[in-house]
């Protein structure tokens, strides 16, 4: 099965679906894409639609192979959860860093000249 294909999405079920629901979805999709049960294509377009059905059939079989076995399904769910956590952590790290604008890229150049040549300002003025 291609790594970008989610078996739950291929079968059209939720990750919390029961084994019987997964089997029902598998059988429904097999009937839809199996060469013996699909409608015959017109002679002119026989190569195109058959290839789509064959690819879909292979995806359905691969998805069901993963989800029908409890240990394979548990392994897939664990890797899916780890991948989601990794994506979440990466996104959280990206958004936790402060944004840098053009105004905050470094110390202003003109402050060095001003502070070096003038004494600090007086805070209190004495009036006589």
Local confidence band at 116 (pLDDT 50, 70, 90 cut-offs): low
Summary mean pLDDT of the chain: 77
Sign of the alpha-carbon dihedral angle for 34, 36, 38, 40: positive
The pLDDT of 50-66, averaged and rounded, is 87
User: What Å distances lie between residue 123 and 79, 99, 119, 127, CA to CA?
Assistant: 64, 35, 12, 13
pLDDT value of position 58: 92
The pLDDT of 88-100, averaged and rounded, is 65
Domains and CATH numbers, the chain: 7-72 (1.10.287.110)
> Whose CA is closest to 9, among 22, 20, 24?
22
Judge whether residue 4 has pLDDT over 50: yes
Report pLDDT digits (tens) over 39-54.
Answer: 666 554 555 556 677 8
């Amino acid at each position: 099965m291609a790594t970008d294909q989610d078996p739950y999405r291929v079968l059209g079920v939720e990750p919390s679906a029961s084994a019987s629901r997964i089997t029902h979805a598998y059988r429904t999709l097999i009937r839809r894409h199996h060469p013996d049960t699909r409608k015959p294509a017109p002679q002119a377009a026989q190569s195109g639609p058959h290839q789509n059905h064959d690819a879909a059939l292979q995806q359905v079989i691969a998805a069901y192979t993963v989800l029908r076995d409890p240990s394979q399904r548990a392994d897939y769910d664990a890797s899916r959860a780890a991948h989601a956590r990794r994506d979440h952590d990466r996104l959280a790290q990206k958004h936790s860093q402060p944004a840098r604008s053009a105004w905050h890229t470094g110390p202003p150049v003109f402050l060095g000249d001003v502070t070096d040549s003038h004494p600090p300002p007086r805070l209190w003025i004495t009036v006589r």
